[in-house]
Amino acid sequence: MKMTPLSIVLAIVVLYVCRVQGQSQCVSPTGVKGQCISIFECPALLALLNKRDKEKEDVKLLKDSHCGFIKQHIPKVCCEIIVDTTDRRCFTPDANIGTCISLYSCPPLRNLLRPPISKEDLAFVQNSKCEGPDQYSVCCGSQIKTTIKRSECGPSIAPPDPRTECCGLETYTDNRILGGNATAIDQHPWLTILEYRGVKDNKIKLLCGGALISSQYVLTAGHCVVGPVLRIGELINVRLGEYDTSSEGQDCIQPNYSDVDCTDSPVILPIEKVIPHRDYNPGSQLKRNDIALLRLKSEAPYTDFIRPICLPYEDITQTTGTQFLEVAGWGAVSEIKSYSNVKLHVFLPYKPLKECQQAYEVQGRKLKLWHKQICAGGDKGKDSCKGDSGGPLMTHNNRRIYQIVGVVSFGPTPCGTENVPGVYTKVYDYLPWIRSEMKP
């Protein structure tokens, strides 16, 4: 075929545009159409490059896929064109909408890793992890907020940035009931109750708890949304702003003979979507990956009695020193009564996993714990219990900003058995999953 001068010029222009954009067309070693791009932008071949034990075929495929260099040192490969229909939208740690992509393809986060790297910048990158195309996937936004505004704390589908103090803060003043386990009426405003419609009697049943982590998402346990619990009732609603379940409308108390303090009426919101962790097995006694998200049909209002708790911004198992954690909910107050009418809380000592494992190696409790679980408790008569399932295990910093570090999973029978801590799903290890599943 003879090419005219015009067709030659057009071919040169097209080739020039493709090369300028770094995406010239090519055919992969397997015979599939592709684009010649940076290997860091090709998830399949990047994963192959990062593979520890490469086979001869892997090395050959990488060599045969090579199609040039960018700036003389970044290799380009012929990357097969694959139409990806996965919704990779996610929320960044600073509450922006981002996309879950390779860290190498995210300039804002790559820039944070240029030496010298501050502790805060490293933590931001670590907390940006998501479940994406390769091993080093991050939720990448267009830019990173450097100015923290503490006045913009309205309802937001995104989990709030803890630096803004838009999560994990309570409004209560020291009006706790001394010597007891009842909370103040406006304490822990992120606590929620899950409502189920009874299978046999069609009545509303309160079987699990949860924690509000944004205006439209609640974090709870996997065993609260799939498995045997559904034989009792169908999960339909989330109740927010509750204090005393025995009364309807407002709840009022008069702490320490002061003025009467009343709540607003509880807010009940239908559930739009139930998202159990894909690897949770309700039939396994190990209770691994016992975590779930609930997306509400509408956004929750933020009030003195309804506010989100912060997602964890550090791994507390890596800190030193004795720690006390806090768990709250409407769980059992005795083996006779399986729930409490009013919101309760208790402080529990943190237990290292190795020490906790010893308590679960005795006859009748033989379970192998793993690194994505965290333990707390072991003091006689103090524990999370029936009805607390799915509720938050919490800690707070010096500014009393609470973060959720665990989700109530399982424990000894009876509750509060001495030297047997309760076991909680470790939220920090599930941040990539949480960021990938929460959508704008």
Q: Does 290 participate in catalysis according to the annotation?
A: yes
Q: What are residue 220's DSSP bridge partners?
A: 292
Contact 65, 78 (CB under 8 A): yes
Contacts of residue 361, Cβ cutoff 8 Å, sequence gap at least 6: none
CA-CA distance, 283 to 274, in Å (whole number)?
19
CA distances from 422 to 133, 321, 357, 405 (A): 35, 20, 11, 14
Residue 218: Cβ within 10 Å count: 25
Burial class (CB in 10 A: 0-12, 13-18, 19+), 190: buried
Contact 268, 297 (CB under 8 A): no
Annotated catalytic residue within 290, 383, 388, 429: 290
Name the H helices within 145-292. Answer: 229-232
Annotated catalytic residue within 24, 156, 384, 389: 389
Nearest alpha-carbon partner for 421 in 348, 346, 324, 363: 348
Which residue carries 């704008």 as its tokens? 440
Annotated catalytic residue within 188, 223, 277, 345: 223
Q: Does 223 participate in catalysis according to the annotation?
A: yes
Peptide bond into 414 cis (omega under 30): yes
CA-CA distance, 35 to 77, in Å (whole number)?
8
Structure tokens at 419: 């030297």
Q: Does 389 participate in catalysis according to the annotation?
A: yes
Contact 375, 422 (CB under 8 A): yes
Q: Give the catalytic positions in this structure.
A: 223, 290, 389
